[in-house]
Each structure stands twice: as C-alpha cells, then as structure tokens.
Amino acid sequence: MPSIKICAVQFQVNPDFNKNLARVEQFFKKANKNKCDIICFPEIFLTGPISKEKCSPKIPIESKKLFSKLSKNYGIYSIMGSIIENINNNFYNISYLFDDKGDTIGNYKKNHLVQKSEAKYLTAGNKVSVFKTKIGNIGIEICRDLLYPEVTRKLMLKNADIVFCPSFWSAKSSSYDWIYSNRYFKNKTPKEVDALVSARAIESELIFVYVNAAGKFSSKESKDILLGKTQIALPFYGTTSVLNHNKEGIIIKETGLGIAKDAKKVYKIEKDLKDYYKNNKV
C-alpha cells in the first residue's frame, strides 16, 4: 500500500486577516522541503472567531485564491483549515480541499456548531463526503464534530483512509459554559481531545489527523487560550505524534495507508456496522 506524508500546522492566529494570510506560504515551503503530500491548517485560522457582520466576501475569495496558487506552485494537496463563508445568504463554517494542481476537489460544512457562539449566526451542514485522490481517500470534519463519533463513522462507511479535523479548540474560552470552565477545568487542562482523537482512529479503522490552533486569541467576539495538542493517531496505536503544548509548530509524519486496511481486516468494525445497519433500522 502507498504511504502518505502529512504536514499538520499548529498556527498561532492573529485577529488581522491579512497578517495571517501573509504567513501561510512559509508553511507550504516547509512542507515542500520535507516532501509532504498534504498540508492541513486549523479551523478559522485566518480570522479567528468573527461576527456575521465581519464576514467580508473578500475573506473566502482571497483565501481560496492563495491556497489554489500555493498548492499548485508547491505541488502539494492542502486543507484550508476553515473559513466563514456566505453561500446563498447562509453563513457556513466551511473547509476546502485542494489538489496538487491547485484545483478545488471539494468542501465540507461543519455539522455540529458551538451553541453559545457560532450556532447563533451560522448554518450547520448536514452531509459528509470522502474525496478519492491519488494520495488516498480523504475525509474532513471540523472541531466540535470530534465529540460526535457518528461523523467519523459515516466517513469510515464511505471508505475514508484518513480524516483531517481542523480545530479552534480552546483550553479556556469566553464561549464556554461557566460550569465547565469553573467546576471541572478551572485549574486543569481539558482532556477530550487526547481521549477522542485516539478513539476515532481505532474505532473507525483510519488515520486521524487533528490540527488545532495555537497561543492566545483576543478580539471583541472572543477571548481564548487555545489548547494546541495537534496530533496524529493510527489504528491499533492511537496517538503516535503530538505537539504537547499550545505554541505554534508543525508535525511532519509519514505513514502507510495499509494500516487502515489492516485494521479493517482485524477489527472488522466496518463490516459489522454495515451488516448491523442493513438488518436494523437505526
């Protein structure tokens, strides 16, 4: 089976869109130097959380134009984290996948929105897709989707080899419930990401790439201390590579796609579920 070399970018987000955009190419250069097949950035990494009123049409236009250009110039697939985009008067948190020729392969609209913040003005997506490419079958989910095993399970049932999860997951955030931030994690680091990234790779028999933002973010819309913890998990092993901090950095990892095929043979979860859904209405 072929292998895939991944570059996962734990990007420190600035409230200034143009400053973030200007820094993107340096990571493409690093990925190209290390002969990576694909590069992935975090959720909303070009703007951070923004209000509906600040969703300028230029943001998705300029972002997609740059990623198309850089993917072509450096001959690398890319996942453009995510952006907020107005499509037919509905605002979505949406991620784009570009191939090594700079063409858009497809996109994914975040299914599960944060209720206290983005759900107030964004429209949730209701579909998942797996994109067949020469470097493998690629699925995408975004941040809070990680809490819902059904999302990754659907991607497994669509024959994904690898799933990318761009995120803007915070250790502390003004959008979090008081009970969460003060009763359970006032002086502790949240544990969900470490537990669930490993679980998704194992239970869904695929390679799972979690790509989070870094550092602190402060604007009128949001105040966050990002969790970091960008990591890559494999079937059988769980997380094998992790940035165990919330500073900016990258993970570069090569892994064979055969591990996903072997997991399907060993665990037989995909086969069991297809039979289960066939015989039971759920």
Domain CATH number, residue 8: 3.60.110.10
Say how far apart CA 75 and CA 104 lie, in whole Å: 14
The pLDDT-based confidence of 2 (bands split at 50, 70, 90) is confident
The pLDDT-based confidence of 276 (bands split at 50, 70, 90) is confident
The pLDDT value given to residue 52: 81
Angle, vertex CA 233, rays to CA 228 and CA 234, nearest 5: 175
Which residue type, as a one-letter code, is found at position 29? K
The pLDDT value given to residue 222: 84
**275: pLDDT strictly greater than 90:** no
Counted domains in the chain: 1
The pLDDT value given to residue 281: 63
**46: pLDDT strictly greater than 80:** yes
The pLDDT value given to residue 63: 98
Domain that includes residue 150, residue range: 3-279
Give the model confidence (pLDDT) of 20-32 as tens digits: 999 999 999 999 9
Q: What is the overall mean pLDDT for the chain? A: 95
> What is the percentage of the chain residues whose pLDDT exceeds 70?
99
Alpha-carbon distances of 119 from 113, 227, 266, rounded to whole Å = 5, 21, 39
The pLDDT value given to residue 32: 98
Give the model confidence (pLDDT) of 132-150 as tens digits: 999 999 999 999 999 999 9
What's the mean pLDDT in 57-77?
Answer: 97
Listed residue (156, 158, 162) closest to 138, CA to CA: 162
Q: Point out which residues pair with 225 in neighbouring strands.
A: 172, 216
